Amino acid sequence: MKPYVIKGIFQPGSDKYAERELIKFGVKNFTKNENFFEFVGHPKLLVKLNCKSRIFSGFEIKLMEGKARFAKDLQKLISQVKWSDFLTTQKIKIKADSFRSKLYHEGKIKEIVEKTLSGIYDNEATGNTEQKISVRIVENRGTISIDSSGEHLHKRGFAVLKEKAPLRETIASAMISEIYARDDIDHIIDPMCGSGTILSEALAMTYDLNIGKYRGFSFQNWASFPERNIHCFDEPSEKNNRKLKVTGFDIDVKSVLDSRENLSVFNESDYRIEKKDFFDISEIPDSSVILTNPPYGKRIMRTGDAVKIYKKLSDLASKGVKVGFLIPAAMKSKININVKPVFTFYNGNIKTDFLTFNL
Ligand SMILES: C[S@@+](CC[C@H](N)C(=O)[O-])C[C@H]1O[C@@H](n2cnc3c(N)ncnc32)[C@H](O)[C@@H]1O
pLDDT tens for each residue of 294-321: 997 655 566 668 899 999 999 999 999 9
Condensed to tens digits (0 to 9), the pLDDT of residues 141-200 reads 999 999 999 999 999 998 888 888 889 999 999 999 999 888 899 999 999 999 999 999
Same domain? For 112 and 204 the reply is no
| pLDDT at residue 194, as a whole number | 95
pLDDT band per the 50, 70, 90 thresholds, residue 276? very high
Question: For the chain, what is the domain count?
Answer: 2
| pLDDT at residue 125, as a whole number | 62
Pocket test for ligand 1, best of 250, 263, 296 (most atoms within 8 A of CB): 250
Same domain? For 113 and 181 the reply is no
Query: How much of the chain exceeds pLDDT 70, in percent?
Result: 91
Query: What one-character DSSP code corresponds to residue 304?
Result: H
Same domain? For 182 and 309 the reply is yes
166 in contact with ligand 1, CB cutoff 6 A: yes
| pLDDT at residue 121, as a whole number | 74
Q: Which residue's CA lies nearest to atom 3 of ligand 1?
A: 194
Q: 181: which residues sit within 8 A by CB, 6+ positions away?
A: none
> How far apart are the CA of 294 and the centre of ligand 1, in A?
6
Establish if 157 belongs to a structural domain: no
**Of the given ranges (86-90, 235-239, 345-349), which has the lowest mean pLDDT?**
235-239
Question: In terms of pLDDT, which residue wins out, 124 or 328?
Answer: 328
Alpha helices (runs of H) in the chain, residue ranges in sequence order: 15-24, 43-52, 71-80, 106-120, 169-180, 197-206, 253-263, 303-318
Query: How much of the chain exceeds pLDDT 90, in percent?
Result: 70
pLDDT band per the 50, 70, 90 thresholds, residue 120? confident
Same domain? For 257 and 187 the reply is yes
Pocket test for ligand 1, best of 164, 246, 251, 300 (most atoms within 8 A of CB): 251
Same domain? For 62 and 132 the reply is yes
Amino acid found at 337: I
- Over residues 236-242, the mean pLDDT reads 67
Establish if 64 belongs to a structural domain: yes
CATH code at 30? 3.30.2130.30
* 344: pLDDT strictly greater than 70: yes
Domain range for residue 289?
169-208+241-357
| HSE, side-chain direction, 13 A CA sphere, residue 203 | 26
Helix 15-24 and helix 169-180, axial crossing angle in degrees, nearest 10: 70
CATH code at 182? 3.40.50.150
Compute the mean pLDDT over every residue in the chain, rounded to the nearest whole number: 90
Establish if 216 belongs to a structural domain: no
What is the distance between the alpha carbons of residues 18 and 221, in angstroms, rounded to a whole number? 26
| pLDDT at residue 300, as a whole number | 57
169 in contact with ligand 1, CB cutoff 6 A: no
| pLDDT at residue 315, as a whole number | 93
